[in-house]
Amino acid sequence: MAENTKMQSLIDQAEQDLLHTYNRYPIVLDHGDGMYLYDVNGKKYLDFVSGIGVFGLGYNPEGYNDALKAQIDKILHTSNYYYNEPAIKAAHLLKKVSGMDRVFFTNSGAEAIEGAIKAAQKAAYNKDGKNDHEIIAMEHSFHGRTIGALSVTGNAHYREAFATIDDKVRFATLNDFESVKSQVTDKTCAILLEVVQGEGGLTTATEEFLKAVRALCDEKGLCLIFDEVQCGMGRTGYMFAWQKFGVKPDVMACAKTLGCGVPVGAFLLTEELAKVSLCPGDHGTTYGGNPFAAAAVVKVLELFEKKKIPEHVQAVGPYLWKKLDELMAKYSAHIFEHRGRGLMQGLVFDQPVAPIIKKAMDKGLILINAGANILRFLPPLILEEAHVDEMCGILDECLKEVLG
């Protein structure tokens, strides 16, 4: 009883003090270890959300905490008026795994998208001296909550209350090349898309579509921007999802697993674009690429290589797919589609999944949705088959109770 009182007391305090922009679940998380989270009462939860795709290495990965503690004892921040060693090393390692040429560190995925958009706009401005250029983005996409990122998010509900730059954005349909081509005008400067849509429902871009869009950008002199904030950093079995098809963007945004818990993002450019876009004075950030965040990136990339994370995802991802397919077959009256790739998968239901998520939480399993009717699976990338079996066992019980 005392434990429940403590939990409720903390929740009540939060509701009095925090701005109510989230409908939070009624648990207060305290710490984590490996694939598991624990609340302030000590209850254990199998985590299939990973902080919305952030904790790729799970909780308390070997060497990660020590690297951050060591950096705390040296220096946390310097500003970008000066060089710092962790940022130099982080940029070099990120270039190596991405195949891109220039790196700008940010604090979040939304900021990375903002920078990518500015890079495309500046390149277009340098061509014709005009600042009225347009961007083609995808319906059902999600790129962030800042005004610029919100403007290219393909869900009108998110944009309707805010003064977004709608007159500078046109929306097309993922995997429908003709819909993209028809939106191109003499003002178009860039095409922006997620290789695997996250919040928008786990729809995956096809190889044919990506290659056609790449060819269109080459033909028209447009900038191709990939948002790999959620689908990047090993989640699909490749460091970045586009690498499966070899369709290289001109600009790429990443974040989330890049820091494995430390807030950090980046946008990366090809050398060709970097030469004709942003220059000193065009873009900046106070905290982006500070020594603490950069130390996290360095250690994450080192651990990814040591643990062969993309290869591990390629090995365990098909097992998750198989087990979710079995659940879909068992509950075929209510589950009608299975989407995604690697360890970024979703089941599409004929009804809202909120009751399933709530029931799972009660039973010690943390899940998340992607839209009202889609159950999304974003586990830490250290997932093993035994964890998949544990998750599916709990989820099966939940589905029996909720769906009948």
Are residue 356 and residue 252 in the same domain, yes or no?
no
* 145, 97: one domain: yes
On whether both 325 and 278 belong to a single domain, the answer is no
Looking at residue 4, its pLDDT comes to: 74
Specify whether 366 is located in the same domain as 294.
Answer: no
Question: How confident is the model over 55-76, as a mean pLDDT?
Answer: 96
- For the residues 203-208, what does the mean pLDDT come to? 96
> What is the pLDDT averaged over residues 59-76?
96
285 shares a domain with 157: yes
Question: Which of residues 268, 285, 307 is at a domain's end?
Answer: 307
Distance of CA 147 to the CA centre of its chain: 18
Residues 339 and 210 in one domain: no
Q: Are residues 216 and 321 in the same domain?
A: no
Q: Are residues 120 and 29 in the same domain?
A: no
CATH number at residue 83: 3.40.640.10
303: containing domain: 74-307
Do residues 290 and 333 share a domain? no
Residue ending a domain, choose from 256, 276, 307: 307
The pLDDT tens digits of the residues spanning 76-90 come to: 999 999 999 999 999
- What is the domain count for the chain? 2
Examine residue 67 and state whether it is found in any structural domain, yes or no.
Answer: no
Binned at pLDDT 50, 70 and 90, residue 2 comes out as: low
Residue 1 pLDDT > 70: no
Domain limit, last residue, from 256, 273, 307: 307
pLDDT value for 162: 73
136 and 91 both lie in a single domain:
yes
285 within some domain:
yes
30 has pLDDT over 70: yes
The predicted model scores a pTM of: 0.94
Mean per-residue pLDDT for 150-159? 82
Within-domain flag for 66: no
C-alpha 169/C-alpha 121 separation (Å) is 12
pLDDT tens per residue, range 307-366:
999 999 999 999 999 999 999 999 999 999 999 999 999 999 999 999 999 999 999 999
Q: Identify the CATH number of the domain in which residue 326 sits.
A: 3.90.1150.10
207 and 295 part of one domain:
yes
Asked if residue 237 and residue 312 are part of one domain, the reply reads no
User: Would residue 290 count as lying in a domain?
Assistant: yes
- Once rounded to an integer, what is the mean pLDDT over residues 98-106? 98
**210-263: pLDDT as tens digits:** 999 999 999 999 999 999 999 999 999 999 999 999 999 999 999 999 999 999
Percent of the chain exceeding pLDDT 70 equals 99
With cut-offs at 50, 70 and 90, classify the pLDDT of residue 159: confident
